[in-house]
Amino acid sequence: MPELPEVETIMQGLKSAFTGQKISFAQPYRPDLRWPFPLNLKEIMENQTIISFHRRAKYILMRLSNQWTMILHLGMSGRLIISSSTEKTPRDKHEHFVFITENGQRAGLVDPRRFGAIDLIPTPHETQHHLLSHLGVEPLTESFSSKFFYAHLQKRKAPIKNTLLDQRIVVGLGNIYVCEALFRSHIHPARPSHSLTSNEVKTLVSQCKSLLKTAINSGGSTLRDYVNVNGEKGDFQNLHLVYGREGEGCPNCGESFKISRIIQAGRSTFFCQNCQK
């Protein structure tokens, strides 16, 4: 699943290509993805100017001149590809939604597994949408501080990895970046959340922010399906120290200690049993 850096990269690509452009055509090619497409999608989107793009957690928000916002989630395997509407290449059989602007730019949502989602909501009511209303703080803002996070950990017995993935507290970190941040902070992923010291939390928050910024600058991580809006892969997977490296030597401890993998809340966790305490 695309995580925060990948979604941010896609959002920035859309922002650069489409801000200020007028939508001449919008069309879903099936009745639903994870949920049904809005029945009035064409009516609301066509002939409207795209005012701005924003990211909230792993959602992309496209605001229109008629005070409506399109909310997009890429699901597990979704890709949003920009092309020219004059290209003669056949439409991908997994392309389930497209919009075209008056300057001939085309954005197509390709989603083979159909876990993605598109919805519309009046812009003034964005934060009340059921997909957005429960979300916690953004990790790259000042709201995600060590003081804030430490306070949220005090009564939590859940493993620290699970807490980092709790979207009600902090959004968008994702499995890859949580594994990497915990490794770089020397914190065992199964540690009870309330057991972390204030200094450990300070280090962990700092590592989360640093990792996300570096990953965004690297265009995200491509493990399977992810590409940016130009069809290009990310590079940050080349900087993973533990994620997907089960059985390899620990970058900190050497070949004597191998990267381990356990399952937490149904997801793979990669870590070093020696240097993460």
Annotated binding site for DNA: 94, 113, 156
Q: Is 3 a catalytic residue?
A: yes
Token pair recorded at residue 188: 């065992």
Q: Is 213 a catalytic residue?
A: no
Cα torsion through 17, 19, 22, 26, rounded to 10: 70
Residues 6+ apart with CB under 8 A from 22: 47, 48, 49, 50, 101, 102
Q: Is 248 a catalytic residue?
A: no
116 half-sphere exposure, CB direction, 13 A CA radius: 28
Catalytic residue of the set 2, 28, 139, 159: 2
Separation of CA 157 from chain center:
26
Catalytic residue of the set 3, 8, 126, 200: 3
Residue 247 exposed, middle or buried by CB count within 10 Å (0-12, 13-18, 19+): exposed
Q: Is 106 a catalytic residue?
A: no
Catalytic residue of the set 56, 58, 63, 184: 58
Query: What is the side-by-side order of every strand in the sheet holding 249-250?
Result: 249-250, 254-264, 267-272
Q: Which residues are catalytic?
A: 2-3, 58, 267
